[in-house]
Amino acid sequence: MKKLGLIGFPLGHSFSKKYYLEKFQKENIQHIDYDLYPIERISDFPSIFTNKDFYGVNVTIPYKIEVMDYLNELSDEAKAIQAVNCIRIMHSAEGTPYLKGYNTDAYGFEESLKPLLEVHDKKALVLGNGGAAKAVIYVLDKLGIQHTLVSRTKQTDNFTYDEINASILAEYSVIINCSPVGTFPNIPESPALPYEHITAKHLFYDLIYNPEETTFLKKGKEKGARTKNGYEMLLLQAEKNWEIWNS
């Protein structure tokens, strides 16, 4: 039985496990299992990848950066982003594992964003500065969209939420929520923006997919903005993972 899985901590409801097990059933893919591996320390990771049956792993919070210390190679996009969410594990005839890290979040985000973009979408605000934001920034750079981070604390070349005003929102038409604000069960929460200045020229993209429509997206839609949640991004990156593992 070949093994795939997800590492992170803690691991609650998993989109990945449900997605792949349903895929295996629908497509009659046999002799492969996908399971969750909650590890409290990244130092526990070798106990998983030294198992010869493992040939692929997804990585989630909080290990997308730390896991790179255990990899033999990074793909170009993972190297640029400095965060990994997909690992292909190859074993030599002697059983020595060789691990290559990828970032398929970038692929999923790019392919789901591009159809939404309009001619005037030249600048983006990126809400949050965690690992997910790194993949988003990589894609924005690739697409030639200028961007500025928005976070709670002032750092070099970023805005704080308190600084966002009508003038800034008129300049930045794309707003991407990479923060966990508004995720189930904290559904009523939303990033602290002056939503009264949002117009139909804006695009609201939320990496969150649970709930399907966050309060952030709801507030954007009320002002006529185009809106998109993170579900398609997840589907696209999941299929990209499968392609990588089986290439």
pLDDT band at 162 (very low <50, low <70, confident <90, very high): very high
Is the pLDDT confidence value at 144 over 90? yes
The confidence score (pLDDT) of residue 70 equals 97
Please give the DSSP secondary-structure letter assigned to residue 39: -
> Which of these, 111, 86, 108, 109, lies nearest to 99 by C-alpha position?
86
> Which of these, 91, 33, 39, lies nearest to 60 by C-alpha position?
39
Is the pLDDT confidence value at 61 over 90? no
Which of 12-21, 166-175, 217-226 has the least mean pLDDT? 12-21
Q: Model pTM?
A: 0.93
CA dist 95 → 54, 89, 100 (Å) = 11, 11, 16
Is the pLDDT confidence value at 235 over 90? yes
Q: What percent of the chain has pLDDT over 70?
A: 100
Summarize pLDDT for 7-54 with one digit per residue, the tens.
999 897 789 999 999 999 999 999 999 999 999 999 999 999 999 999
Task: Give the three-state DSSP class for 173.
Answer: coil
pLDDT band at 245 (very low <50, low <70, confident <90, very high): very high
142-171 mean pLDDT: 94
Is the pLDDT confidence value at 238 over 80? yes
- Tell me the C-alpha distance between 215 and 235, whole Å: 22
Point out the catalytic residue in the list 3, 64, 134, 219. Answer: 64
The confidence score (pLDDT) of residue 129 equals 85
Is the pLDDT confidence value at 149 over 90? yes
Q: Is 64 a catalytic residue?
A: yes
The confidence score (pLDDT) of residue 128 equals 92
The confidence score (pLDDT) of residue 131 equals 77
Alpha helices (H) in the chain, listed in sequence order: 15-26, 46-49, 76-81, 104-113, 131-143, 166-171, 215-222, 231-245
Summarize pLDDT for 74-114 with one digit per residue, the tens.
999 999 999 999 999 999 988 899 999 999 999 999 999 99
- Tell me the C-alpha distance between 63 and 182, whole Å: 22
172-187 mean pLDDT: 94
> Which of these, 81, 87, 89, lies nearest to 109 by C-alpha position?
81
- Tell me the C-alpha distance between 222 and 108, whole Å: 26
CA dist 217 → 67, 94, 152, 213 (Å) = 32, 52, 20, 6
Q: Token pair of 60, please?
A: 């989630």
221-229 mean pLDDT: 98
